[in-house]
Chain A
């Protein structure tokens, strides 16, 4: 599989023509519904080259374009990559491999721990989608923000939250990244700028847009040299939600530095994407709001990385938001409680052969970036790291009883006034807890 980024440029659609027949015809010809599952051949390599000419069109906001980056079928193995124009260096390759393997090993361990009763509640695993998280997040700086959904373990790990902290949080221990108060679906880290972790789908999108608003505000009002970018990760089901459209509108209106990353894994619990959506091609919804919409094969980390570079670069330069649709697949059910009966085993088998980690491994091997031994060493290191995380979480203490009432407010005067007329937080016995638990 040639892991090179490819793109196909559809001729600019003028908004004023409101989907005139010939334009939309051109669209459907090039991208028929079957191509949705990633089988259309690429046409040319320029991905965002048009971008540079578009900036001169900035005065003409009515013209937008849709860009689609396509999957190359395995059979059409056009190895454009020779040793001299590889997409990644050895260090980058190993970094990507390590991050994806960490995500996979961690999630597999979560499943084990859940079935052993150490983890409880709702746990949503990310197996199969690692390419999206790694492809995007490894391009970010520490100050950039990531906002995710309930499937947030791997986003947090990629962003830099230590595996020990994430595992403890899942076990509900006080050493977790949120001291056990958040849980699987609410991973927050101020240090690494992971702004959650939201259980409601669509809830994270406006929050991410707000963080991007802050970046812009810092530039415009504080006159700081701020080019922080925010990434919002969400799924295909969310793309039918009102908040998604509201934020696409406002982000494009105010040119916020945000990238909307759709992890289209084709299923929302048991609801298939095509059954739920009038127009299943999500990338097309970007141009309707005035931002580029890009479709990329989310099982190929290098392609995702190329698209991500452009989208994040666009946001950093102040050119506004991008909508990136990553077509990917989750190997497990929606959550560990989901029996996963509605998905066709043939479909699962098909995607299992396109495992992103195996693909990257193959790429590294074919292009002789690293040896088998080096990759195995990384595997071993990560396995040990995950084991250590489990042991750490196991031996960590559960939260103390007084932790129940803590952190409701940043300003503890919010606990109100005690019976003696003074603020409760000033009471020396305050942290002993006043609730009868």
Chain B
């Protein structure tokens, strides 16, 4: 049973519309004054297309990006339009082609390196961190690396342990990298354009399950010079009782939970982080100072996760304002299982675990008390 909730929220005085969707997505229609809707896939494709046509130094490299039109069809049509010199199909050599991208960036081009999933980036992580992130510092500003590493991150559906890890926390700890995690189509378009134009290495963490989701989009977003600032979070929904921070797919879940909490009289503020590094600490802290409670939501492993960093930041800057300890909601502290019911239990869910009355010691304590998981739709 899927619920569709329509919210109208204000964010800094600009009316925006957010749409929450059920877990098994059936595209649902919503009505707004700006009318147009595009999927995240189309948003990414159009952003890549526009940036490649604006700057001939931008090129796309990765496995299956060319003739296959992209492993997830993100780069559809680009090979036809720009040719094999600019949309480069590579052999299966992550370390090799990531290094080639870094070398090309050293010497003046602007590569966009696609990983089929970020799990494969582990084969190339030496280049992302040692050759790309650290180079501007090691060369004292002589060699900047205007490269973008993008691809789907986090859990998909039933793909098993080696294809489901979330890398936001790993990359988010490296000085010299910028790490972005878009949620909606507007985020995807704006942040990808900003990433490609940025002179520094950017890790762009998409989500496979969001690719097919549609979000309404304004005319301004469709303009080819649109971009979003890196390092600013977005308050998707304002509230006054509790702050929920999330990124990527979890934003949708948080918004849904906020809707349900609203019926129970709890007004939740949902922050879409957008940028894991640099983390928008000021927005988070300002929000906590207003609401006095914080819940962080992420899909990745709990230890040393993004939520841990947010907790620490809030404790350091807004300790006196907290009325209750910060709560982290994260994936289970286990490699992702394959069985569908186990997989459901290993990531935060919109649906509740209420029917499974089992104690799971790996899950953070007081997980169930927060109603985020007890929701039965």
A interface residues (Cβ-Cβ under 8 A, vs B): 145, 147, 178-183, 186, 188-191, 193, 195-200, 203, 205-215, 217, 220-222, 242-243, 246-247, 249-250, 253, 406-411, 413-419, 421, 423
Q: Are B99 and A243 in contact (CB under 8 A)?
A: yes
Q: Are A209 and B103 in contact (CB under 8 A)?
A: yes
Q: Are A410 and B104 in contact (CB under 8 A)?
A: no
Q: Are B96 and A246 in contact (CB under 8 A)?
A: yes
**B106: Cβ under 8 A from any A Cβ:** yes
Check A246/B140 contact, CB under 8 A, given A195-B106, A211-B107. no
Which 5 pairs from chain A and chain B are nearest by CB? A210-B103, A206-B99, A246-B96, A416-B278, A188-B139
Q: Are A416 and B231 in contact (CB under 8 A)?
A: yes
Q: Which residues in A have their C-beta under 8 angstroms from that of B107?
A: 145, 193, 195, 210-211, 214-215
Query: Would you give the shortest CB distance from A80 to chain B, in whole angstroms?
Result: 40
User: Would you list which residues of chain B between 94 and 128 have a CB under 8 Å from chain A?
Assistant: 95-109, 126-127
Residue from A188, A207, A220 within 8 A of B142 (CB atoms): A188
In this complex, which of B108, B135, B138, B280 has the most chain A Cβ atoms within 10 angstroms of its Cβ? B138
Residue from B56, B141, B278, B281 within 8 A of A221 (CB atoms): B56
Q: Which residues in B have their C-beta under 8 angstroms from that of A214?
A: 103-104, 107-109
Q: Are A243 and B96 in contact (CB under 8 A)?
A: yes
Check A410/B100 contact, CB under 8 A, given A214-B108, A214-B109. no
Q: Are B91 and A249 in contact (CB under 8 A)?
A: yes
Query: Would you give the shortest CB distance from A31 to chain B, in whole angstroms?
Result: 29
Residue from A147, A211, A417, A419 within 8 A of B104 (CB atoms): A211
Cβ-closest chain B residue relative to A421: B282
Q: Are B138 and A188 in contact (CB under 8 A)?
A: yes
**B279: Cβ under 8 A from any A Cβ:** yes
Other contacts beyond A217-B109, A221-B56, A250-B100: 16, CB < 8 A:
A179-B141, A180-B140, A181-B138, A188-B142, A197-B138, A198-B130, A214-B108, A243-B99, A246-B91, A247-B96, A410-B141, A410-B200, A414-B231, A414-B278, A419-B317, A423-B231
Q: Are A210 and B102 in contact (CB under 8 A)?
A: yes
Check A186/B138 contact, CB under 8 A, given A206-B100, A210-B100, A421-B282. yes
User: Would you list which residues of chain B between 170 and 204 have a CB under 8 Å from chain A?
Assistant: 175-176, 178, 198-200
Query: Would you give the shortest CB distance from A177 to chain B, in whole angstroms?
Result: 8
A419 to B99, CA, bound (A): 37
Query: Would you give the shortest CB distance from B98 to chain A, in whole angstroms?
Result: 7
Q: Are A217 and B85 in contact (CB under 8 A)?
A: yes
Q: Which residues in A have their C-beta under 8 angstroms from that of B198?
A: 411
Q: Are B85 and A220 in contact (CB under 8 A)?
A: yes
A186 to B139, CA, bound (A): 8
Q: Are B103 and A208 in contact (CB under 8 A)?
A: yes
Q: Are B86 and A203 in contact (CB under 8 A)?
A: no
Q: Which residues in B have their C-beta under 8 angstroms from that of A250?
A: 90-91, 93, 96-97, 100
Q: Are A207 and B282 in contact (CB under 8 A)?
A: no
Query: Would you give the shortest CB distance from B258 to chain A, in whole angstroms?
Result: 24
Q: Which residues in B have their C-beta under 8 angstroms from that of A217?
A: 59, 85, 104, 109
Q: Are B131 and A415 in contact (CB under 8 A)?
A: no
A411 to B97, CA, bound (A): 25
Q: Which residues in B have their C-beta under 8 angstroms from that of A145?
A: 107
User: Would you list which residues of chain B between 232 and 268 have a CB under 8 Å from chain A?
Assistant: 232
Interface footprint category on B:
35 or more
Q: Are A178 and B136 in contact (CB under 8 A)?
A: no
Q: Are A407 and B137 in contact (CB under 8 A)?
A: yes
Query: Would you give the shortest CB distance from A331 to chain B, in whole angstroms?
Result: 28
Check A410/B144 contact, CB under 8 A, given A203-B126, A418-B282. yes
Check A181/B140 contact, CB under 8 A, given A203-B131, A213-B100. yes
Cβ-closest chain A residue relative to B133: A408
Q: Which residues in B have their C-beta under 8 angstroms from that of A246?
A: 91, 93, 95-97
**B143: Cβ under 8 A from any A Cβ:** yes
**B288: Cβ under 8 A from any A Cβ:** no
**B230: Cβ under 8 A from any A Cβ:** yes
Q: Are B106 and A411 in contact (CB under 8 A)?
A: no
Q: Are B142 and A242 in contact (CB under 8 A)?
A: no
Q: Are A409 and B136 in contact (CB under 8 A)?
A: yes
Residue from B140, B200, B232 within 8 A of A409 (CB atoms): B200
Query: Would you give the shortest CB distance from A14 to chain B, in whole angstroms?
Result: 23
User: Would you list which residues of chain B between 51 and 82 have a CB under 8 Å from chain A?
Assistant: 56, 59
Q: Are A207 and B139 in contact (CB under 8 A)?
A: no
Q: Are B99 and A207 in contact (CB under 8 A)?
A: yes
Q: Are A178 and B93 in contact (CB under 8 A)?
A: no
Q: Which residues in A have their C-beta under 8 angstroms from that of B59?
A: 217, 221
- Residue contacts A-B, CB under 8 angstroms, 19 given: A178-B140, A181-B138, A200-B126, A200-B130, A206-B127, A209-B100, A210-B101, A210-B105, A210-B106, A211-B103, A214-B108, A217-B104, A221-B86, A243-B96, A247-B96, A249-B91, A250-B100, A410-B141, A417-B280
A411 to B231, CA, bound (A): 12
Q: Are A411 and B103 in contact (CB under 8 A)?
A: no
A198 to B231, CA, bound (A): 30
Query: Would you give the shortest CB distance from B278 to chain A, in whole angstroms?
Result: 3
Q: Are A178 and B138 in contact (CB under 8 A)?
A: yes
A287 to B56, CA, bound (A): 34
A131 to B333, CA, bound (A): 55
A120 to B130, CA, bound (A): 21
A181 to B136, CA, bound (A): 10
Q: Which residues in B have their C-beta under 8 angstroms from that of A189?
A: 142
Q: Which residues in B have their C-beta under 8 angstroms from that of A247?
A: 96, 99-100
Cβ-closest chain A residue relative to B86: A221
Q: Are A409 and B176 in contact (CB under 8 A)?
A: yes
A305 to B318, CA, bound (A): 66
